[in-house]
Structure 1
């Protein structure tokens, strides 16, 4: 069996590692020229951790744990007002973390570098899958340079804008949740840490103000310092800062880094001094404007030799803290399904159908809940 994977993000790389471990040939096609230079926090629960444990070699799984954030005082989502007063505490979605080696938060780029290690020869950067043709003999993909490649199975792991999903499931719709979002990083200096509200000693903090501005933030400091022997880039301790301004006042997608920084500063003008200091310290070249969208649940489809994984089929609001976990769980589950088919234990369509049914059963209730919150 040879598996074609469209997309080399969190889910696609984890799947490639799982297939390699299972002895199944695969090739990953990623449109970006390399791993994205930026990176923000990913909150991990047992779904994500177990997915990595199932797919990664033991040494890489151990490295993932070592480069994760130490267990915080409370592994919860804290909601506070703009003055730093706690309003509510919510548990994170998904099962509890591993009690033996608790792993809570990772640096996204470091996780992707860990998952890329050892499979570099299977990943083709700068190549986007733009279409495919499926027959009883397998799947032939077309790349953006006109090149063709053939395999037995095609997996769409190419994100919410998946070209494969658009052809495979053309009726799937996406919805805009927040038009203007500014993602960024701010150095975690001793002065900043002392100035921040106490809630920042917990896992993740959402701050809201009466005008409608929202900020989501969390600290990153690895359990063990990144060293030259690790296949990851060194990263200084930082705070991941995501701001949804009530009124940006400019086209954020046409603005420069300094202009976006000004938008962030103005949005927190009357906030807690520590929060203002945090935003003041944001590095302009790390600010990334985006629109938050989600994939709407769709009716079940007939399984075959094309399937979907992660954000390509169930992109969800980042505030749920479950997007990466769901993609990693998908990767482990699909690895098992394809292994069963490759070994002749079951028919490929049956194996893929079981994977898809379980994936929808877990993620679609989360998407429907997110839709209800968005409509409220």
Structure 2
């Protein structure tokens, strides 16, 4: 299998991590990403040891160190906390995942920064502006058809193309996308010293959820890198195209999982940024002064509406030369901050399985079957727990036994 070649549909976090791991293992690959570049899509991502250790396994040492240095400073309490709008603590719970300790535990990253780190050094394999349309597979190879009329041939195709994956829709057409009914908005507010002074201290813990007790919540997370990004890049990856990001606070507002959306919380999809800003201002009336000030400082240019959807849990399927990772197979609500971490976990696991196949330790389909079986055992329980209506608004401890 010296000419073994892997096709990756989708250049998100999971697809890029997979490409880095394959490159490190000496396995040929190519990534086909629909967007013309790494775009802004969401903001802060919670990181745990599941995802962080996958990055350690897949990235070259300098890029893994760059990830650590551009991660959020270690908070006093690395846990989730729920507050009422007056800043009172309702409950706390540890983040899910393996033990996450040491002098620089995994904390949080800026999503685009992580994608830019993951793309560094992949110029020869990363193809922007090419959208996967469908595939053709037989016992010997798989062909990926692209929207520009071209195609690519490889030994394995990995669908890493997100919740609306065209690869999954062909491989597992019975798996449906579920609309949670959760509607809301994402935004960021610049984190300044004077804002930090008035914010409730618990907002600086690992992750905070503020509840009004009326079926709406705000998720709030600080991003303050351990080292200025430009300085870390110049030291560890000179010339890498990684944009500047100032410290910020991510602020969301919307309906809670399982809550019915009433007239007080519209769909948001057709509202302007100014209208969305006014909506969260109204929601924070009478709240802790630091929360009111945080909302007032939101940069309206960063506001965008959101709708939370997830996938049905797929029944086991027979292994083939086509497989899936990340949101393409287990998109989940953000209840435990596990989506990106699970995609990274997939990438590292799949690299190990493909290494077994390439080096003749296992037949290819057996290696892919083991990868998919481990995913079902380790990630699907998190997926189910994330969709539980109790996941966000109580001190619910998820059952991840299977």
Give the aligned partner of residue 141 of structure 2: 138
Give the aligned partner of residue 70 of structure 1: 73
Q: 1:334 aligns with which of 350, 367, 382?
A: 350
TM-score where L is the length of structure 2: 0.90
Q: Whole-Å Cα distance in 1 between the matches of residues 125 and 97 of structure 2? A: 31
> Is it true that 1:362 corresponds to 2:365 in the alignment?
no
Conserved 8 A contact 1:70-1:103: no
Task: Encode CA deviations 1:294-320: one digit per residue, 9 max, x unaligned.
Answer: 112121000010000011111111121
Task: Encode CA deviations 1:294-347: one digit per residue, 9 max, x unaligned.
Answer: 112121000010000011111111121111111111000000111111111111
Q: Whole-Å Cα distance in 1 between the matches of residues 337 and 65 of structure 2? A: 22
> Is it true that 1:169 corresponds to 2:185 in the alignment?
no
Q: 2:360 aligns with which of 334, 338, 344?
A: 344
> Is it true that 1:274 corresponds to 2:290 in the alignment?
yes
**TM-aligned CA deviation for residue 52 of structure 1:** 0.4
Give the aligned partner of residue 153 of structure 1: 156
Conserved 8 A contact 2:14-2:347: yes
> What are the residue-to-residue correspondences of 1:237-276 with 2, within 5 Å?
237-245=247-255, 247=263, 250-276=266-292
Q: Whole-Å Cα distance in 2 between the matches of residues 361 and 191 of structure 1? A: 46
Conserved 8 A contact 1:67-1:226: yes
> What are the residue-to-residue correspondences of 1:40-79 with 2, within 5 Å?
40-79=43-82
- Unaligned residue ranges in structure 1 (runs of 5+): none
TM-score where L is the length of structure 1: 0.96
Q: 1:190 aligns with which of 157, 171, 193?
A: 193
Give the aligned partner of residue 121 of structure 2: 118
The number of aligned residues is 376
Q: 1:290 aligns with which of 306, 309, 323?
A: 306
**Other structure's SS at 1:120 match:** coil
Conserved 8 A contact 2:182-2:308: yes
> Is it true that 1:304 corresponds to 2:320 in the alignment?
yes
Task: Encode CA deviations 1:234-275: one digit per residue, 9 max, x unaligned.
Answer: 111100111115656554222222222222222222322211
Task: Encode CA deviations 1:83-117: one digit per residue, 9 max, x unaligned.
Answer: 11000001101012242432211111111111100
Moved more, 225-234 or 357-366: 225-234
**Other structure's SS at 1:261 match:** helix
What is the root-mean-square deviation of aligned Cα atoms in Å? 1.7
Give the aligned partner of residue 35 of structure 1: 38
